């Protein structure tokens, strides 16, 4: 993770708390509906719908994490 200076201990603790348990989880990249740019990365324990704004085209999309093309589960294992 990138080192960010000048953050308070509270903020750092919150960041760590949210990232807890993601170590070793597989991830899946969900592409923007509009431009196919990488919209969000979800972890294998993610379920349900998420809403994300694409950094490239700026469009907001709703993504169903459990919905996959062909119905196959295709998470990629983290190497780090
Ligand atoms: Zn986009």
pLDDT in tens, the chain (80 residues): 566 788 999 999 999 999 999 999 999 999 999 999 999 999 989 889 999 999 999 999 999 988 665 444 555 665 54
Please report whether residue 5 resides in a domain. no
Q: In angstroms, rounded to a whole number, what is the distance separating the alpha carbons of residues 2 and 57?
A: 25
What's the 4 CA to ligand 1 centre distance in angstroms? 27
Does the pTM of the predicted model rise above 0.85?
A: no
Please report whether residue 57 resides in a domain. yes
Please report whether residue 53 resides in a domain. yes
Q: In angstroms, rounded to a whole number, what is the distance separating the alpha carbons of residues 50 and 16?
A: 21
- Ligand 1 ion: residues within 5 Å (CB): 32, 34-35, 37, 54, 56-57
Please report whether residue 55 resides in a domain. yes
Please report whether residue 7 resides in a domain. no
Please report whether residue 30 resides in a domain. yes
What's the 25 CA to ligand 1 centre distance in angstroms? 26
73: containing domain: 26-79
Going by C-beta distance under 8 Å and a sequence separation of 6 or more, which residues neighbour residue 43? 22, 25, 26, 27
Q: Specify the number of domains making up the chain.
A: 1
Please report whether residue 16 resides in a domain. no
């Amino acid at each position: 993770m990138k080192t960010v200076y000048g953050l308070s201990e509270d903020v750092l603790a919150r960041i760590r708390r949210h990232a807890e348990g993601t170590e070793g989880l597989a991830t899946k990249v969900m592409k923007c509906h509009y431009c196919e740019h990488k919209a969000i990365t979800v972890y294998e324990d993610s379920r349900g719908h998420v809403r994300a704004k694409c950094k490239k085209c700026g469009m907001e999309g709703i993504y169903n994490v459990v919905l996959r093309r062909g119905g196959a589960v295709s998470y990629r294992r983290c190497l780090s």
